[in-house]
Amino acid sequence: MPCRRSRRRNIAPTVTSVRSVDVLVVGAGLAGLHTARLLAEQGFDVVVVDRRRSLSAGIRTTGIFVRRTLDDFDLPDHLLGPAIRDVLLYPPSRRAPIRLTSDRDEYRVADMAGIYEHAHRAAEAAGAQIALGVRYAGAAMGLVRFAGADPVTTRFVVGADGARSTVARDLGLDVNRRLLVGAEIVHPIAPTTAAPTFHCVLDPRVAPGYLAWVIDDGQHAHIGVAGYPGAMRAGIRHLLEEFAAHAPGRTAAAGPGVRRGRPIPGGGGLRRVGGPGRLLVGDAAGAVSPLTAGGLDPCLRMSELAAKVAGGYLRTGDQRELYRYDGSALRARFRGRLLLRRALAGIRSPAAAEAAVAALRTRAGRAVAARILFGDGSFPTVAPVTANPLAG
């Protein structure tokens, strides 16, 4: 779906009379757009910039939303593919996959161009101004500079500029150092009546430290691989081709495919994600489940807290409002998942992956797998804390 471009691309009238805004959000991904909307709804003057000229270009995600997100957030039904209850987990041999079936609808794959467009419209309707084709170029002496627009001064900066956040670096916040990388091919498929299934392959030859997958949204198949870039000697592009050629569950392409890919924060959330006049959301904050690499739920969930604390701070000037936005508290909730992530990263040979899948065939193993895949804990609720995360 084509994305509507902002009618007001020049976000400052002239350099000599620099425009001043309450909040500048850098990045119009799901995290940036949702935070912008919530802050604009509180009555703040919000500007969002994104270097992309269209939000339907350069999509970086498969778009799998999990049950908990679907339950808690109001995503437009017509933009979501059919509900998925079945997961097939394959060893490297691809033989005898483990089938796990939930008695609830667990996943739906979204039309992400439509989701971004919807979030864009919602943010604009709330009063936020969205400037596309504008690249954040740095901040100094209270002035934020762009390529593609005039500078602004702002009371608050939200860094929603993804896993390799420039805003985080410029504003002295933590930056993602442990990164996975993911890539996928998306191609149209012919209509089918088969029950949609999420195919997951544990094979360190194509997805070292993570998984390869095949899933469809009813209209498109997504075939992807993710893992540690340092272990992908042949390069992710080549591994994706190799996997796609024999991917289990793959449906024949009914048209040309497009590729998506990007780094994925894999460290389990950054600690220092906020400070006076600034905070990070989404991938920029490392807010991705360390085990499932799911980042869409955190984009929405964390943005809600971000907008609350930033709004409180802007209204009162009280820095204690920002204490509630604490990356360390989040990391503490991830401890178990970080351990499992390390275990997954330790599976380095096909033999070890076969053994891991064999262990998951047992009753206890199936219970663990079902808990990871169908549990509610992919990303914890971000609760307020009392300690001062801004110190040290």
- Closest separation between CB of residue 130 and ligand FAD, Å? 11
Place of tokens 């002496």: 141
Q: Closest by alpha carbon to 265, among 230, 233, 239, 291?
A: 291
CB of 14 to ligand FAD, least distance (A): 22
Does 27 engage in binding with ligand FAD (CB under 6 A)? yes
Nearest to 212 by CA among 196, 191, 232, 192: 232
Stretch that binds ligand FAD, among 96-104, 118-126, 154-162, 334-342 (CB under 6 A): 154-162
Nearest approach in angstroms of CB 273 to ligand FAD is 12
Say which residue the tokens 């860094």 belong to. 159
Pick the piece of the chain touching ligand FAD (CB under 6 A) from 244-252, 259-267, 306-314, 355-363. 259-267
Q: What is the dihedral of CA 318, 321, 326, 330, to 10 degrees?
A: 180
Radius of gyration (C-alpha) of the chain in whole angstroms: 21
Smallest distance, ligand FAD to C-beta of residue 107, A = 8
Find the part of the chain contacting ligand FAD (CB under 6 A) among 236-244, 278-286, 312-320, 345-353.
Answer: 278-286
Least distance CB 285 / ligand FAD (angstroms): 8
Give the closest residue to 97 by CA, choosing from 176, 201, 1: 201
**In this complex, which beta carbon is closest to ligand FAD, that of residue 302 or of residue 354?**
302
Site string for ligand FAD, 34-53 (x = CB under 6 A): ---------------xxxx-
Phi, psi of 52 (to 5 degrees): -70, 145
**Residues of span 119-138 touching ligand FAD by CB under 6 A:** 135-136
Cα–Cα distance, 211 to 181 (Å, whole number): 11
- Find the residue with minimal CB distance to ligand FAD: 295
DSSP state, residue 191:
-
Distance from the first to the final alpha carbon of the chain: 45
Smaller CB distance to ligand FAD: residue 316 or 381? 381
Note the residues at the interface with ligand FAD (CB under 6 A): 26-32, 49-52, 60-64, 135-136, 160-162, 166, 182-184, 224, 260-262, 264, 282-284, 288, 293-297, 299
